[in-house]
Chains A and B, each alone.
Chain A
Amino acid sequence: MGRYLIRRVLQVIPVLLIISFIVFALVYMAGDPVSLMLPEEASQEEIDSLREALGLNDPLHVQYGVYIINALQGDFGKSYRYNQDALSIVLERLPQTLELAIVSMIFATIIAIPLGIWSASKQNSYIDLIATGASVLGKAMPNFWLGIMLILLLSVNLAIFPVSGRGTLMHIVLPAITLGTAIAAEMTRLIRSNMIEIMQQDYVRTAKSKGQKDSIVTYRHAFKNCLIPVVTIMALQTSGLIGGALVTEVVFAWPGMGQLLVQAVNARDMAIVQACVFVIAVAVILMNLLADIIYRMIDPRIKYE
């Protein structure tokens, strides 16, 4: 396990290099940074001196080298809007995003696991039909629409939850439901179909033949075998939430990374965009690594060569 971990961490290095190159290239794809930074009426002299100051006249590989050396030191340049180190601005927002991601995942999991197992064990019953219908609906609803509807109903009309922002426990409820609903829907369907298959397995019959209670047969013997796909989808969705809660964070004015990223893109604050993309990429890599470690803890047949 220890050797495996070291090897996995080493494997991350080339991945990060590739990501760093893409992030670097983003600046060029977005257009000439100098023309974005200077007002339109700037003279050619001013443009030239800024280009020189930013090192944009150097050959591309030199620029990339400088960029990598800076990035290794956690320096993605300064945000021109905040006039501060970009990475530290992004990292300030990371805890809020993580908080929302974790609460959303908990919400999705506590709904999806019992519901998925329940509808699998009562296949084709009314409960199953309702659960299946609800998960199709949950998956089909766009985030922004659900978020706005929740605000309209529960904040504006019924005034149970605050409309937006972050602060009390009540603030996180609506954005977490908004993000968690689609995930819960997908997980429910995944658990249902896996459990239906697993409940047909011979070892489930063996557990029943021991005289074990149905609940123990279901949760201990069957559901444990369903955990690999569940962990996979949880890891995928969590990295999705860290990087992709853009719309929801904007709708609820949640002060996370997603909101920052949207604002930075609109303002063409490339240093912030680069730092954001980099942090998100690292988060995705870490989530995958975590999932791999959990697989090994669940299933002894999985070996790391």
Chain B
Amino acid sequence: MGEFRMPSLGADMERGKVIEWLVKPGDYVHRGDILAAVDTEKTVMEVESFEEGVVAEYLVDLGVTVPVGTPIARITGTPADVVAAGPPAAGAPSRPTPPPAPAPTAPPTPAAERVAPVPAPKPAEAPEPSAPLTPPIRHLAHQFGVDVDRLHGTGKHGAITRADVEAAAAQRAAPSAVPGHGPEGRVRSSPRARRLAAELGVDLASVSGTGPGGAVTEADLRREAAARGPAPEVGAASVGVESVQAEAVAAAPATRAPVESRPGGTATSEAAERVAGLRRAIGSLMARSKREIPHYYLSTTIDLSSAVAWMQQANADRPISSRLVPAALLLAASARAAKDVPGLNGFFVDGVFQQSTAVHLGVAVALRGGGLVAPAIHDADTLTSDELMARLRDLVARARGGRLQRAEMADPTITVTNLGELGAEAVFGVIYPPQVALVGFGRVVERPWAQDGMLGVRPVVTATLSADHRASDGLRGGRFLARVDELLQKPEDL
């Protein structure tokens, strides 16, 4: 029971703003349930509840930047508390939303999320006053002005579910519904599908859903978008809440020659502001790193012929969707080496290095439009290269789409930066405090390579290590890079 505060989503985060609520007052939340999407200056992240209870009210408005630690929602311990307290909508001055039904009780939603009548359950012919009903659902019904006695429950043993109440509210509200608002008439869809709809410029209401309960799925959206030809530019969705998430990607660098500058001054300036904010955040963290961490740097060149040959062989039999890229092998080797060689994986806090037993591998992801974030792949040392590849694709897509989770940003124990195919040959990175090491990989290049008295041409990569002298020294660091090399010679074991 208590206040949910703006969490710190990384060492450098000082403030944040809620850009989307993923729960409504009256919702029962468990520990770990996602409550809201929070925009830090670096990215958008989903934050989870630290406690169990019922969401009583929002304490901040959408889009308002508040310092870390500011209460953003009130969560009460039991459903009974909420009911006893009366509808939280009434008389709570800080509440950002208008009063109950049929007016919307949810925050303004993206334009793409148009109102469409949800197929309502059959009209209630026989009232079932004894239908099982949980307090949160009763509360929700009260908020929407729905008479539960007239509802036909579709849940277990005829229980009235949230969907029943929402459908009834939708039915009532549909004729006068305001587009773009509220849970009434809400098209069933996941936040992910709603974002995709915005990206594709597809009106959710125009799509017939094939998912559970008629929910609009990603496949539905792609089909709809494909049927309509090339998607309109993302700017079409850049109104309201959703635009914040699109900003990072919308910030096309002016140097991109074949691309004309995009119309829509507002989106562009917001994007520029976002990139500037991200740059400030990176700058302040890196300045702290250089001020506090006595870095040392090592470099070694690794023969990748075994790894590349093995990967090509593996990829030959696979569909595109499950093919590997060299980065997956480099990450797998780094994670295992971080586990094997002490002194590099963990945090330096309060003057002491604390080795972490788990390897949460931070992966530096460049955002289209500028800046980077380095979220973690958890327990990366225990994953196969295939699993790592899947996680990498997911992580990069979410980082660029603006949907990372709090834990991913907060707890990498060591970070890898991989410059990829167009990068330089070597990168000597700056450590992310409180971590103590950063591993860098340059571009994979073909080079003459001497071995056993013979000269040949092989694909090689320069691996580097930036490490904290308070936690390790060059001998340790050298062992780490040697271990990475060793692991990459047996790619089939990764």
User: Is the pairing of A and B real?
Assistant: no
Q: Which residues of A contact B (CB under 8 A)?
A: none
Q: Which residues of B contact A (CB under 8 A)?
A: none
